Structure 1
Amino acid sequence: MVLTRAEKAKNDEQIINTAITWEILEYDMQKAFGSLAKIGEKRSAQLMADGNGYLSYIALVVFDWTTDRDLLPEKAVLKITSCDKMEILIKEVPGFEMDNVREKCAAASDNELKFYENAFKTLKFSNELRVPQFFCGRDFGIDGVEAGYFAIEHFDNVENRHFYNNIQESAVLEIIRQLVIIHTHSYNHPEMMGKMDGNVYEQLYGDFADIKKMEKAIHEAGTTYPELKEKLEKLKSQLKHFTNWETYQKKLHESCE
């Protein structure tokens, strides 16, 4: 297919073929850092961690700033949330259903943006929490853009791992320690966590804490994708820790006491 000049220009402006454009990112970064610097011609955006987010695209962005290079970050990680990723999941995963897709995608995007934006400024998490620096972002649907995003600090020498991968015990313990910090703070400071919409997580993740629904989904996935049987069995072995959303929440609270 041969693209017209207008179509090619549009694609060049879009970041990894999403509704978020370089113009949006440049404006938000300028506002966040108090700069008039422009993103240069050698800018780049590379899709990373594909498959690690069922609502989002994650990209490594290199800015190539024209000025203020000492003030502005050289690169950032962008997490862009749009409905098409969820629609693909619903279509391809056996037994997975969800209504009000746009509403839930928007709520999840806005909530995650609030977390990173306020992690140290408002929520006052411990400095032990290894959260990357927040640069900028915007809510889902602003100015009619059917996506939301945020840009955060990029950590070098980091490898993405799934639950079913073989992970060293020291790494697992560090993950647990970080989660304990988050959940303890959330439990002890409900007035701060009230800034986050708790219903979003029940709507999005409630089915993942329902043992009957998950057993059915894993069985159907194993039938459709037999090559994933070993990984699915590892996931299935953890279902004993959940029965429903209420039990899951209770265990979270008990672990923080």
Structure 2
Amino acid sequence: MTHASRQKRKSVPRNALILTTYEELENFVRAFAGGHLNLVIRVGARGLAKSRIVQKTLSKDICWIEGNASPFRIYVELYKHRDQFIVIDDVDSLHADKNGVRLLKNLCQTEPEKRVTWYTAAKGLEREGIPREFTTSSRVVIISNDWKSTNHNTAAVEDRSQVLLFQPTALEVHLRAKKWFDDPEIFDWIGERLAQIPSPSMRLYYRARELKNAGLDWKRVIPDSVGNKRTRLALELLRDETYATQEARAQQFILQGGGCRATYFNYVRRLRSVSS
């Protein structure tokens, strides 16, 4: 099963736009920075540089909220940074909290000036000198690894948002890594094994370099699973020019325990799609 198909099996917002390239993702971030989009929810696996792209594009007048921030703390930050860009990063529990969802519904209003309210924890607000309601023109990006469509309230947020599901291929991530990764040995080795990578991630390159610098076996960053062994066998047979035909390679694939003829040709199609 590919990374993309596994992602689709998880809870995916019904109106999500599926993006597969960094260029597409950057175009949406630029549109947000230009004032054309009000609320953007970006969903995607970890290690794909989602946050870095936003940081690079929204270089000023930005409030970045991340980690275990509670809805109350987010309300406080929204007030303190009224009319600025707001990025809520990796706060995956926000959409599952009723107060968090209420805040999101406030922020996804279509009017330029949005009314944001908080009617509980009054003493906490008084201590910080913050009113129970205020208006703001802030536009918001939510970066989530696993956005869940839990009820009609989150559905209302999704319907008023641009929901982007980022699903780059291993090749797309590899080409992006080429812009910054400076170890050609590791880069080329990973490039030859893209079909063996179940979950594309920039962190794969960092981990390999860290292990190499420590004098450890950095090639173990790609798991040696049954699927990877079959991929490696199919790749070796494809590159072996001593075989006159693909049928001959398929027979050797069977003899070496890779599986049946159909399995070999499935791996060949996958390898060619990655390299194209």
TM-score of the superposition, structure 1-length normalised? 0.20
TM-score of the superposition, structure 2-length normalised? 0.19
Q: Structure with the greater relative contact order (CA < 8 A, sep ≥ 6): 1 or 2?
A: 2
